[in-house]
Structure 1
Amino acid sequence: MRTFVLLLSLFAIAASLDTIPHHARGGRAWRERQGGLTAAPAEAKYFKQVNDHFDASLDTFMQKYFVVDTYFKGDGYPVLLYINGEGPVSGPPSGYLLDVAKELGALVVTMEHRFYGSSIPNNDFSVENLRLLTVEQALADLNYFATFIRSNVEGAANSKFLCVGGSYSGALSSWFREMYPDTVVGAWSSSGVVNAIFDFVQFDEQVAAAAGEECADDIRNITHKIDYMLSTADGNKKVKTLFGARVDVADADFMYMIADSSAMAIQYGHKLDLCSSLKAARESGECIVKNFANYTADLWGAEFGGGCFYDTECLKTDRTMARSWRWQKCSQLAYLQAAPFVKPLRSRIVDLPAQIRQCEEAFAPGVFPDTALFNLRYGGAHPRTTNVVYVDASDDPWQQASVKEAQGKNEPFLYIECDDCGHCIDLDRSGAAVPEPVQKAQSQILEYVKSFLA
């Protein structure tokens, strides 16, 4: 079976469907998530994508994509369009999606999101050019890509398309079905953050609820001790050095990184591991701050604390996914994870003014996410579409930006409840090693997908 491409094809390794962000892939968490995942061979390909779908200009850029035809049975069989989100793409998707493709005899296609990896319109990260980085442009990219696949992949011309995504791309999958119902017949939205929340205190609150009171108190104790160290010049330098951060990084930026380390451990299935480590340090009398620094470096990589992702000064000139994703949050989506008023896990200096200030300093005065207008357009926690299955899990703090219940007969909602069941777990591996609640949800997802494609 042949695929026609417009430019160079490069061999690439298969990528996991899980959504551990790229700035946190240097440690044990990423290695463990990659182990044992099913991979499918594919080549990196590029096609000409439109710079601006809402302008008469014909300017284009080269957008990376992958086609997995391992299980494709040809004419009349479906196409599963996996939507990538806020990061570069090194290979085709893997995990449970490939099990679904095998069951359905489906083609799997995926495309790198604009302004990530090598798919950069005008090769320019200036504020003026970043205005081409919007949800609307991304959805139009997907529609254009689907048309391209129909025309250039043998056997796909008359196929039904169903889109799949996790986290931000899970939201994109729902929005794509809503805005382009003639292109895709249905969607699978894993941990889809469809509700753009401006002051997202619920994130911290959900992390605390998932952690349990004892573990949450251990996290609060670490936060308080680091806050105290930041209050003196000597302590400030020492604690930032301990975590591998620049000594002159803004305190609020640094504490956002501290908060993310524990939150992401719970979010990505390491709750029991994290809580055991914190408890052991507390009971042994070990320095809990040093213990947490070592844990952070081990789980997320030695570069996690000193990377660009949280650092406002670095974000001003960055040319990677860190600047692109911050732009999307600052200009449209928000999800600004501020400290709640009551019993926060994160430092109170990680507040809404600090994050708005970061947006303006990294980009320009007046850059601000109008989430009310955005949610008015797409429906927020109540998407206005059909044939979408939404899936969330009990340890995932992002569930607070998702739907909370079925949105109707044709918009089912599945909730997976178990320890260490976190973000996008339904897209991860399958089989006997997977917790029974996940296996059950995956079976239900398959049946919903079949019904959407019928």
Structure 2
Amino acid sequence: MGVEFGKLRMTTSVAAPLSANWEEICDHYQEHQNDITFVQSQMWDNEDLWELLEQYLKQKSDYEANFNIPRELPEKRLECGVSLISSLSYFKDDVDFLYLLADAAAIAFQYGNPDVLCSPLLEAKKSKENLVEAYAKYVKEYYFGKFGASLRTYDQQFLKNISLGAKGGDRLWWFQVCTEVAYFQVAPTNDSVRSPRIDARYHLDLCKNVFGEGIYPDVDMTNIYYGGTRIAGSKIIFTNGSQDPWRHASKQTSSPEKDMPSYITKCHNCGHGTDLRGCPQSPLNIQGDAGNCTSPEAVKKVRQQIIEHIDLWLSQCEYEEDDDDGSHFFGTARSMVSYS
């Protein structure tokens, strides 16, 4: 069989047995992974991957109908499915693909678009449609489409790229993770959309593979330098959206004695950076319009509190009478805060 998608050509002689159960089908594909070869001049694009994934899902559905794949073995089906998909993609680690699948779900909540994910899944469940296909459609059309995520974000080989001009934002984030803060997004014990294979060892191996031997997050030193839970600073405002998963890594209680207020902006789609960017954050609204938040007043209230704190702190600044530059900055800063 030959399948051609633009820059990708996949050829394989693999054919599942005409009479087989699920375990035999899975073992058959794993046994013949070496028969799958690729000729590609460069990394193939997102659309190609998802056309291939959709073919796989259709093929999987046909197998379930013809060979009575047991529903009581979802973990076996997932294991085989991930193995097969990984063999047909450029991911060298199955867990990189699992990480992508989990991130795609989290991002809807993080950036203020929960209904984009939940509505089609609930509708598919209500209609007794294939939930995996519904999720794949969401990932293709929203996560890789409208949101603009890239497969390269999850490709450890790409993260190694240090050449000038490379889009290195993902590498910079992982360097901070791997040297300072950890923030490993491991699977919780119960009710997790993340695979249990996304564990601390996976993250440590990624750090070593991308940045080299001996690279790991020195969290103790980071906490000593910045003060840990006793932050070495004052006059800092902490704001978080109620639906943002990252708010749990932030300071969610105020410390009046150090002038460090904390506010949670509460609404159905208040995500990452709602205080500045409004709702939702994808596509990015540079004006920070709160009109699309389910509770615009909640956003405006927090913004007003921010203005009042900064205005007060600026008013407490003291400048020498002959410090023209300082006085100019003082007046300009106050007008900027008042205007926003």
TM-score range, shorter chain: 0.5 to 0.7
Match of 1:262 among 96, 105, 109: 105
| Aligned mates of 1:403, 1:291 — CA distance in 2 | 36
Q: Tell me what 1:271 maps to.
A: 114
Aligned with 2:170: secondary structure?
A: helix
| Aligned mates of 2:86, 2:129 — CA distance in 1 | 16
Match of 1:237 among 84, 87, 90: 84
Q: Tell me what 1:312 maps to.
A: 156
Q: Structure 1's 418 and 382: CA in aligned 2 closer, same or farther, altered over 3 A?
A: farther
Q: CA deviation at 1:282?
A: 1.5
| Aligned mates of 1:337, 1:372 — CA distance in 2 | 18
Match of 1:440 among 297, 301, 324: 301
| Aligned mates of 2:124, 2:169 — CA distance in 1 | 35
Match of 2:274 among 425, 428, 444: 425
Q: CA deviation at 1:272?
A: 2.5
TM-score by length of 1: 0.46
Aligned with 2:239: secondary structure?
A: strand
Read off the aligned partner of 1:237 and give its amino acid letter: L
Contact 1:312 1:361 in 2 (8 A): yes
Coordinate RMSD, CA, aligned: 2.6
| Aligned mates of 2:290, 2:187 — CA distance in 1 | 38
Gaps of 5+ in 1: 1-25, 27-223
Q: Tell me what 1:322 maps to.
A: 170
| Aligned mates of 1:317, 1:230 — CA distance in 2 | 31
Give the count of matched residue pairs. 227
Q: Structure 1's 405 and 279: CA in aligned 2 closer, same or farther, altered over 3 A?
A: same
Match of 1:453 among 298, 311, 314: 314
> Which one has a larger percent strand, Structure 1 or Structure 2?
1
Q: Structure 1's 366 and 432: CA in aligned 2 closer, same or farther, altered over 3 A?
A: closer
Match of 1:336 among 166, 184, 187: 184
Question: Does the alignment pair 1:352 with 2:195?
Answer: no
Question: Does the alignment pair 1:282 with 2:131?
Answer: no
Gaps of 5+ in 2: 1-45, 47-72, 278-287, 316-340
Contact 2:112 2:271 in 1 (8 A): yes
TM-score by length of 2: 0.61
Contact 1:229 1:239 in 2 (8 A): no
Q: Structure 1's 416 and 388: CA in aligned 2 closer, same or farther, altered over 3 A?
A: same
Q: CA deviation at 1:313?
A: 2.7
Match of 1:299 among 117, 138, 142: 142
Relative CO higher for 1 or 2, CA cutoff 8 Å, sep ≥ 6? 1
| Aligned mates of 2:237, 2:172 — CA distance in 1 | 28
Q: How does 1:179-258 map to 2 (within 5 A)?
A: 228-232=76-80, 236-238=83-85, 246-258=89-101
Contact 1:339 1:350 in 2 (8 A): yes
Q: CA deviation at 1:340?
A: 1.4
Q: CA deviation at 1:389?
A: 1.2
Match of 1:394 among 229, 238, 242: 242
Aligned with 2:179: secondary structure?
A: helix
Q: CA deviation at 1:352?
A: 0.7
Among the aligned pairs, what percent are the same residue?
30
Q: Tell me what 2:265 maps to.
A: 416
Max Rg structure: 2
Read off the aligned partner of 2:103 and give its amino acid letter: D
Read off the aligned partner of 1:294 and give its amino acid letter: K
CA deviation profile, 1:212-269 (whole Å, cap 9, x unmatched): xxxxxxxxxxxx95x644522x66334786xxxx254311111111111111101111
Aligned with 2:142: secondary structure?
A: helix
